């Protein structure tokens, strides 16, 4: 893409943000968050940096159909897909990511793909085999994992869809999407994985097995190429769970670091915050894992509870019960 074409695409994205804002003009502004630079900021040329977004966007069927039982303090208008889709689009475009990894996507073909394709992104989608969204009469199809790539920066070379395995190597309902990318600016290969592990307490060992399944599939997928790797997802697991250690220890091919921890020395206080009928749910379960030769040059900080309010998420200023994670990376 020529420089003038790229400049034109950036302008289109800015215009798309303004249009989305007009659709929800009676809503308050999006939740404000600070972007924090690390010690690696400016070490390499700016052109070598690329931005990654990881976000569980909250499936339409799981918000509108179950709103009376799951999000007890969220206003109905803030849960409606007719509003949330514009707010989600705002959140994505505000940060202009090069790689977008999403979970709980149940409007891929009728919203995310066409809207982002118009703005220079290529997208892939992998639904769950037995999506909980399908249990609701007004569903929009199964939810799943999606990845979008800025075509100016990355070329999609290959992809693979996998069902994650349990402790007995049997397939589960959870999935992962693996892609091989070529960084056009740095002339290097990058592998990216997007996944969503089993939810709820009591499945700690299953989540650990699912992570081992990802690592094994990843090794087979990259074979002898040995590219740098990102694994993005909603792991439904706090840092104290076995799955966290599984990712850190890795296997013979890869071990990983959590981007937030390497950038700030600690995981955030929470990445999801909501009010349920049985009480508050607030913990860290979303991660961007990176291999050793990728450095975090900047990241989006997690807001204070006071900035969100005691009613939690979603709310009038944010469209999901999970916060988007944003990281800038450079090649070591």
Task: Quote the pLDDT of residue 6.
Answer: 67
| Residue at token pair 């793909």 | 113
Helix ranges (DSSP H) in 102-241: 113-117, 204-222
Task: Quote the pLDDT of residue 48.
Answer: 82
8 A C-beta contact, residue 175 and residue 213: no
| Residue at token pair 């999801």 | 272
Is the predicted pLDDT of residue 66 greater than 60, yes or no? no
Task: Quote the pLDDT of residue 332.
Answer: 85
pLDDT averaged over every residue in the chain: 94
Cβ-count burial 103-127 (b if 16+ within 10 Å, e if not)? bbbbbbeebbbebbeebbbbbbbbb
- Show me where the domains of the chain are located: 1-331
Is the predicted pLDDT of residue 55 greater than 90, yes or no? yes
Is the predicted pLDDT of residue 45 greater than 80, yes or no? no
Residue 314 CA to residue 55 CA, distance in Å, equals: 13
Q: How confident is the model at residue 67 (pLDDT cuts 50, 70, 90)?
A: very low
Q: What is the pLDDT of residues 128-144, one digit of tens each?
A: 989 999 999 889 999 99
Query: CATH assignment of 1-331?
Result: 3.60.10.10
Q: What is the pLDDT of residues 88-112, one digit of tens each?
A: 999 999 999 999 999 999 999 999 9
Nearest alpha carbon to residue 166 among 221, 203, 120, 116? 203
């Amino acid at each position: 893409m020529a420089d003038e074409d790229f400049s034109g695409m950036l302008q289109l994205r800015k215009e798309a943000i303004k249009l989305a804002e007009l659709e929800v003009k009676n809503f308050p502004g999006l939740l404000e968050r600070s972007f924090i630079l690390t010690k690696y900021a400016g070490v390499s040329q700016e052109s070598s940096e690329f931005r990654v977004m990881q976000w569980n966007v909250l499936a339409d069927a799981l918000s509108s159909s179950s709103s009376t039982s799951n999000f007890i303090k969220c206003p109905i208008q803030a849960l409606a897909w007719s509003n949330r889709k514009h707010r989600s689009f705002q959140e994505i475009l505000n940060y202009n990511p090069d790689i977008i990894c999403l979970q709980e996507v149940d409007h891929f073909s009728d919203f995310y793909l066409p809207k982002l394709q118009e703005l220079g992104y290529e997208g892939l989608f992998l639904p769950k085999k037995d999506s909980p969204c399908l249990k609701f009469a007004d569903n929009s199809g199964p939810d799943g994992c999606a990845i979008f790539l800025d075509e100016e920066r990355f070329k999609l070379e290959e992809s693979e869809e996998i069902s994650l395995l349990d402790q007995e190597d049997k397939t589960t309902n959870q999935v992962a999407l693996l892609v091989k990318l070529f960084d056009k600016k740095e002339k290097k290969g990058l592998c990216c994985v997007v996944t969503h592990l089993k939810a709820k307490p009591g499945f700690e060992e299953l989540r650990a097995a699912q992570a081992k399944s990802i690592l094994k599939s990843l090794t087979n997928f990259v074979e002898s190429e040995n590219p740098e790797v990102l694994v993005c997802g909603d792991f439904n697991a706090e840092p104290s769970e076995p799955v966290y250690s599984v990712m850190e220890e890795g296997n013979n091919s890869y071990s990983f670091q959590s981007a937030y921890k390497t950038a700030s020395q600690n995981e955030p206080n929470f990445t999801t915050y909501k009010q349920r009928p049985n009480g508050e749910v607030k913990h860290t379960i979303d991660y961007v894992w990176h291999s050793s030769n990728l450095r975090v040059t900047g990241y989006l900080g997690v807001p204070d509870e006071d900035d969100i309010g005691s009613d939690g998420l979603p709310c009038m200023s944010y469209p999901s019960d999970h916060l988007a994670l944003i990281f800038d990376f450079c090649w070591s």
